Chains A and B, each alone.
Chain A
């Protein structure tokens, strides 16, 4: 369990060096994207259109923040991660086609994303769900916002962050998946738990 500090743009080498269970802090640019932004990004790619933000080497944050307009400037009030599993059908293509190296979210993702991470050299890091105030504190500035027509939670927020973490590497580029390990262990405990509650098949 190493503790690492990374800076964007992230390289394949950076990502290959990460192992599940490592703790990571990221400095640089995060871009938020949820369901609708993923959908639109892939539509843009299909139509051969350029995205308003170049995501190459950046970290994508599964987050629908609360953002406030203060003196002509955007200020992030709260910005914890959202459930990543919802983006599973689109994330693999999103990573490989757009060159995203790090996904930050909560709850982990499925086999399609894991496969893309393995082949492309990307990783998934968990930020504590609900810890929205701490996350906002590590966001130093809003560099821009795109696709605000999708609504505040769904827009692409381009955020400048400093030592964003602690993030736990939960899926690495070597095929390790911490969530899958935990669920496997829970499954393994199932019979013992059934006995504890007096339920026997």
Chain B
């Protein structure tokens, strides 16, 4: 079996896992939110969410009918074989998963409004590539829902206003988003680089599990501060009021141009779907986000 077959099979599995089973950290964060919620309507929302997550897992059906735009993150070992076949394998895996999971066809031509019907299209599935050392390949499936995507924000701030302004930008984005992104959300914040880099970092930040604090202690503190600040809004589960508006805030950063202070804010709905696996050159396979029997 060549790498293409293996990658295809693994990617179909990853899409199925991602769309039907939440990672443990997200589930635990939702359970905590339920325990701590004081608003009666907020509690009903979280109870419904948790029941739904359980049912989806039991029946193997998608947690949410919006199974997202299909995005993959690939860390390709420079010495891994047949790297050129991965993109095609991920594309065909997307088509197969659309049929078999099933996923909702979500790839629409922006000019003709025509839906391709199989979740593939121009640049879709989108693949973020990273070349790493070694000979293994790590693949993350990241189906991204539209509701939370529609409230993502980019700010090209004034450098002189500094970190305080950055924090305000995040809080403002949470208030502006209100009920739209299906709170409690995970907020990814990307700082620096340039406009595209800040958004890319914001999305990358969403890949970090909620129970894994930022390795930078100062940033870990800022993430906690922003989480508390976002939860002071009272927007609550599904925007119907309550304590838990965000489950967490994750930050990533790059150095910036002296004249620019880009800040990207990416929202991930409570159905924070992601699944990763690592393929080793000897053919062994390790799932990183889910327990697979």
Q: Find chain B residues with CB under 8 A from A53 CB.
A: none
Within 8 A of B (CB), among A163-201: 166, 168, 170, 178-179, 181-183, 185-187, 189-190, 192-194, 196-199
Q: Find chain B residues with CB under 8 A from A189 CB.
A: 232-234
Q: Find chain B residues with CB under 8 A from A63 CB.
A: 65
- Choose one: A65, A133, A170, A186; the contact of B52 (CB below 8 Å): A133
Name the residue of chain A whose CB is nearest to the CB of B106.
A153
Q: Find chain A residues with CB under 8 A from B103 CB.
A: 66
Is B52 touching A134 in the complex (CB atoms < 8 A)?
A: yes
A113 at the interface (CB under 8 A from B): no
Is B167 touching A179 in the complex (CB atoms < 8 A)?
A: no
Is A128 touching B102 in the complex (CB atoms < 8 A)?
A: no
Name the residue of chain B whose CB is nearest to the CB of A79.
B65
A142 → chain B, closest Cβ, in Å?
Answer: 14
Is B234 touching A199 in the complex (CB atoms < 8 A)?
A: no
B134 → chain A, closest Cβ, in Å?
Answer: 37
**Interface bits A115-133 vs B (CB < 8 Å: 1, else 0):** 0000000000010111111
Is B105 touching A152 in the complex (CB atoms < 8 A)?
A: yes
Interface size class of B (residues with CB under 8 A): 35 or more
Within 8 A of B (CB), among A57-71: 63-66, 68
A108 at the interface (CB under 8 A from B): yes
Is B168 touching A194 in the complex (CB atoms < 8 A)?
A: yes
A170 → chain B, closest Cβ, in Å?
Answer: 7
A85 at the interface (CB under 8 A from B): yes
A82 at the interface (CB under 8 A from B): yes
Is A197 touching B52 in the complex (CB atoms < 8 A)?
A: no
B239 at the interface (CB under 8 A from A): yes
A110 at the interface (CB under 8 A from B): no
Q: Find chain A residues with CB under 8 A from B194 CB.
A: none
Within 8 A of A (CB), among B1-52: 40-41, 44-45, 48-49, 51-52
Is A168 touching B55 in the complex (CB atoms < 8 A)?
A: no
Q: Find chain B residues with CB under 8 A from A182 CB.
A: 178-179, 234-236, 239-241
A80 at the interface (CB under 8 A from B): yes
- Choose one: B45, B56, B167; the contact of A199 (CB below 8 Å): B167
In the bound complex, CA of A83 to CA of B148 (Å) = 10
Is A21 touching B41 in the complex (CB atoms < 8 A)?
A: yes
- Choose one: A21, A133, A198, A199; the contact of B61 (CB below 8 Å): A133
A78 at the interface (CB under 8 A from B): yes
Is B239 touching A197 in the complex (CB atoms < 8 A)?
A: no
- Choose one: A136, A193, A199; the contact of B165 (CB below 8 Å): A199
Q: Give the segment of B209-217, B222-230, B254-262 that binds chain A.
A: B222-230
Known: A128-B238, A131-B52, A182-B241. A196 touches B105 (CB 8 A): no
Q: Find chain B residues with CB under 8 A from A128 CB.
A: 44-45, 48-49, 52, 237-238
In the bound complex, CA of A153 to CA of B104 (Å) = 8
A141 at the interface (CB under 8 A from B): no
- Choose one: B115, B168, B178, B182; the contact of A197 (CB below 8 Å): B168
A-B pairs with the 7 shortest C-beta distances?
A: A78-B65, A129-B182, A131-B52, A128-B48, A130-B64, A132-B65, A186-B233
Q: Which residues of B contact A (CB under 8 A)?
A: 40-41, 44-45, 48-49, 51-52, 55-56, 59, 61-67, 102-106, 108, 113, 115, 117, 145-147, 150, 164-165, 167-168, 171, 175, 178-180, 182, 225-226, 228-229, 232-241, 269-271
Q: Add 4 more A-B contacts to A186-B178, A192-B232 (CB < 8 A).
A: A68-B102, A78-B61, A136-B61, A183-B235
A sample of 8 cross-chain residue pairs with beta-carbon separation below 8 angstroms, ordered by A number, consists of A66-B102, A80-B65, A128-B44, A130-B270, A131-B49, A151-B108, A151-B117, A193-B171
Q: Which residues of A contact B (CB under 8 A)?
A: 1, 21, 23, 36, 63-66, 68, 77-80, 82-83, 85, 106-108, 126, 128-134, 136-137, 151-153, 166, 168, 170, 178-179, 181-183, 185-187, 189-190, 192-194, 196-199
